[in-house]
Amino acid sequence: MKFFIDTADVDEIRELTDTGMIDGVTTNPSLIAKSGRKFADVIEEICSFIDGPVSAEVAAIDAPTMIKEGHKLAQIAKNVTIKVPLTVDGLKACKVLSDEGTMVNVTLCFSPAQAILAAKAGATFVSPFVGRLDDIGLDGMDLIADICEIYENYANFETQVLVASVRSPKHVVDAARMGAHVVTIPPSALRQLYNHPLTDKGLDSFLKDWAGTGQSIL
What is the distance between the alpha carbons of residues 12 and 189, in angstroms, rounded to a whole number?
13
User: Of the residues 83, 92, 120, 208, which is catalytic?
Assistant: 83
For 6, phi then psi, to 5°, come to: -100, 85
With residues binned 3-state (H G I as helix, E B as strand, rest as coil), the percentages for the chain, rounded to 5, are 50, 15, 30
- The secondary structure element, H or E, covering residue 24 is strand 24-26
- Let me know if 83 is a catalytic residue: yes
For 139, residues 6+ apart whose C-beta sits below 8 A from its C-beta are: 133
Do residues 27 and 57 touch, judged by C-beta distance below 8 A?
yes
What is the distance between the alpha carbons of residues 75 and 212, in angstroms, rounded to a whole number?
59
Q: From the CB of residue 172, how many other CB atoms can be counted at a distance below 10 Å?
A: 21
For 4, residues 6+ apart whose C-beta sits below 8 A from its C-beta are: 22, 23, 24, 25, 26, 52, 53, 55, 162, 182, 183, 184, 185
Q: How far is CA 150 from the centre of its chain?
A: 20
Give the residue numbers marked as catalytic.
83
